[in-house]
Amino acid sequence: MRRMTAWTCAALIFTALGASGCGSSSSKDEQGTQPARVTHIAGTPFTRVELSAAADARIGVQTTRAVARTSPTGAREVVVPYGAILYDANGVPSVFTNPDPRVYIRHPVQVDRISGSVAYLRKGLAAGESVVTVGGDELYGAETGVQGEER
């Protein structure tokens, strides 16, 4: 009975990982299209990640708008949810913006401070820009080629 429970648990975990969008970004989806297309933006250090409709739905990307605030010293700051901040392998913070439907661009940002669930930015983002709050890690994986293990 214990062995059956362990196998059932393993099967459920495997199924959940596949359903969460942790599969390979190089494999094709049900419609035979690439889930993500990554292209370099000419004349910039940025890349553009464009998701298929199926991949976007599977990941469940959520966004919010960056907000301008005045700091206690009178300086203008851009504020985003701390969950929007991603850190690369070197500790450099960035956020994904969402300029068009299913299109995402990662921008390096300079974090001034973090207070609770809010990040105050010095540079890298304008107020009003749409930033990814859920799904940024999957977008980063698609952009950098980090993929889940194929089964």
**Per-residue pLDDT tens over the stretch 97-150:** 999 999 999 999 999 999 999 999 999 999 999 999 999 999 999 998 876 544
- 118 Cβ neighbours under 8 A, 6+ residues apart: 79, 80, 81, 82
What are the sequence ranges of the domains in the chain? 2-144
Say whether pLDDT at 5 is over 50.
no
The model's confidence at residue 3, banded by pLDDT at 50, 70 and 90, is very low
pLDDT at 148: 54
Angle at the Cα of 60 from the Cα atoms of 142 and 12, rounded to 5 degrees? 90
C-alpha 145: how far from chain center: 13
Query: H or E stretch including 70?
Result: strand 67-70
Contacts of 4 (CB under 8 A, 6+ apart): none
Give the model's confidence band at 22: pLDDT under 50 very low, under 70 low, under 90 confident, else very high.
very low
pLDDT at 72: 82
Residue 121: exposure state from Cβ atoms within 10 A (0-12, 13-18, ≥19): buried
Identify the CA nearest to 109 among candidates 79, 89, 68. Answer: 79
Q: From 144, 1, 131, select the one nearest 65 (Cα to Cα).
A: 131
- pLDDT for res 25: 40
Fold of 2-144: 2.40.420
Which one has a higher pLDDT value, 75 or 103? Answer: 103
Cβ(102)–Cβ(53) below 8 Å:
yes
What are residue 78's DSSP bridge partners?
Answer: 68, 121
Owner of token pair 């207070």: 115
Identify whether the C-beta of residue 115 lies closer than 8 Å to the C-beta of residue 53: no
pLDDT of residue 27: 55
Beta bridge partners of 118: 81, 115
Give the model confidence (pLDDT) of 25-69 as tens digits: 445 555 567 899 999 999 988 899 999 999 999 999 999 999 999
